Amino acid sequence: MLTEEFNNQNSTSHESSGSAFDVYDREGYLLELYRYKHDGSLWAQTIFSRKGEQIFKSQTTGAAPFENFSTQNVYDADGHIIETDTYNADGVLTKKTKNELLENRAESATYRSIESGVEGTENTREVVESTDPKTGLTHQVATMNGKAETDWVIQRDENGVPQKDKIVLADGSYNERERAADGTTIEDRYSASSKSHTYQKTDAQGHLIEVVDKSGSSYIRCTYSFDEDGRPTGQVNYGSPGNILDKSTIEYQDDSFGNWIEKKIILWDTTSDPMKRKLVATSLRTINYY
């Protein structure tokens, strides 16, 4: 699949801002990705060695700001990653992460992850998780190098689907979510350092449809829209209730398979009445099917 990006801001004609070429297998898993600069030169490429969801090796090479490196994953018989090794451009091991299951009981489990770096540093994370079969309440406590990291409580329904959860960090920051009957999810993210809240709302399909940032006298609200295929179609930013700061929309042209082959990003002048549209970017995509 070839995707070409064009910038329309400075002229009416297309000005290339780069392109991407992706190769997928018949099951839809990514095998190769290439990123090109506006002049057509290769910027970065990543090659995957995989079987379905399992990625055994990935190798990335490219020019700045991309870094040349590779990773290798080792799986156990149940398909869990038990080791991940990261190598630099010279093939030197720079980071190793080992995962192990220390204890597995009917209602609780303990996991350990050890990350070691080339400079000799080592960080150990341990996670203790327990679930009450009567209430469906799961409690997960994580420590890093013996110090408290997170405390997470998850409430599930009778089918095991999370309905409400709250994860608290060591500094008092937290992330709290609750799923409504219609499938929408409301999330409250609190930062103890800035004493600010970020409220998010997602629809039943998991699409982010609203974000509100509140910090002291600062306030901004963003809304997002999607089409029936789940593709983003627009964003509106508000400085205060009803006060539109800026607005953008996205238009698609599809091929006979229902996949887009042209995408246009449009900015709207919210100071004019009616609002005037301005085309700022165009993406053209060529898809070769098996």
Nearest to 21 by CA among 242, 268, 285: 285
pTM: 0.80
Q: Please report, for the chain, how many H helices and E strands are present, in that order.
A: 0, 22
Q: Which residues of 204-237 are buried (b: 16+ CB within 10 A; e: fewer)?
A: eeeebeebbeeeeeeeebbbbebeeeeebebebb
> So what's the pLDDT on residue 258?
95
Token reading at 128: 């203790």
How high is the mean pLDDT in each 10-residue block of the chain (290 residues)? 85 78 96 95 97 97 92 95 96 96 91 92 96 91 97 91 95 97 95 94 96 87 96 94 89 96 95 90 94
How high is the pLDDT of residue 263?
A: 97
- Cβ atoms < 10 Å from Cβ of 36: 19
| 272-281 contact pairs (CB < 8 A, 24+) | 275/247, 277/249, 279/8, 280/7, 280/8, 280/9, 281/5, 281/6, 281/7, 281/8, 281/9, 281/17
pLDDT at 229: 93
Tell me what pLDDT residue 9 has.
65
